């Protein structure tokens, strides 16, 4: 039975994918494009999903952060081979409020917090040693106190305009269902040939 709300369907499928998962089910390919439309894709971790959309966090000065500022549209692609399922999500992206980014940053392991300060993500560095020196200096800077969220680090919300579910079939006649937003709380459903 197909759920009338694709986000509810995604949450149910994600829960199934997370059971005894051989790898991290939150890993998702994020595709962005710069102002000229040149695409780039990389893996990020999904950190939340609800009726508003899909949340992830990053260095805002990284390539993906800059591209999302220039062109606030993106796509996500989840692939859970162990259950033969894929989900594609497309839509507009917006920055999360500072309070939400602060709350998530505070929940991260201390090493990840320090790494966010030390890494100039997506920028060239002279050597691995230079990066490690920055990491040691960052650790000394915050020794004995909480690590605040860097001003150049935060979260994004992808508000889905389309969500496609793909289920593998041995015959290669895979099952594809594409939901397209048709208003604030309404979706249309199309069944697609594989």
Question: For 157, which DSSP code?
Answer: E
For residue 190, the SS3 value is: strand
Q: Is 84 left (phi over 0), alpha (psi -120 to 50) or beta?
A: left
Task: Reply yes or no on whether 177 is catalytic.
Answer: no
Among the listed residues 108, 172, 178, 191, the single catalytic one is 172
Token digits for 122?
Answer: 């997506």
- Please enumerate in sequence order all residues whose Cβ is within 8 A of that of 72, keeping only pairs 6 or more positions apart, or say none: 92, 93, 94
DSSP string of 13-68, one letter each residue: HHHHHHTT-SS-TTEEEEEEE-TT--EEEEEEE--EEETTEEEEEEETTSHHHHHH
**What positions carry a catalytic annotation?**
172
């Amino acid at each position: 039975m197909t759920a009338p709300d694709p986000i509810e369907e995604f949450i149910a499928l994600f829960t199934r994918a997370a059971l005894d998962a051989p790898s991290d089910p939150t890993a998702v390919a994020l595709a962005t494009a710069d102002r000229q439309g040149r695409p780039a894709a990389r893996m990020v971790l999904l950190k939340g999903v609800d009726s508003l959309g899909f949340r992830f966090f990053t260095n805002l000065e990284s390539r993906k952060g800059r591209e999302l500022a220039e062109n606030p549209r993106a796509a996500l692609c989840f692939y859970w081979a162990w259950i033969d399922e894929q989900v594609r999500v497309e839509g507009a992206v917006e920055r999360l409020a500072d309070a939400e980014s602060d709350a998530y940053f505070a929940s991260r392991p201390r090493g990840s917090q320090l790494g966010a300060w030390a890494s100039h993500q997506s920028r060239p560095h002279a050597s691995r040693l230079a990066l490690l020196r920055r990491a040691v200096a960052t650790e000394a800077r915050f020794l004995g106190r909480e690590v605040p969220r860097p001003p150049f680090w935060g979260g994004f919300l992808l508000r889905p305009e389309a969500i496609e579910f793909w289920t593998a079939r041995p015959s290669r006649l895979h099952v594809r269902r594409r939901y397209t937003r048709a208003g604030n709380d309404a979706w249309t459903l199309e069944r697609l040939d594989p």
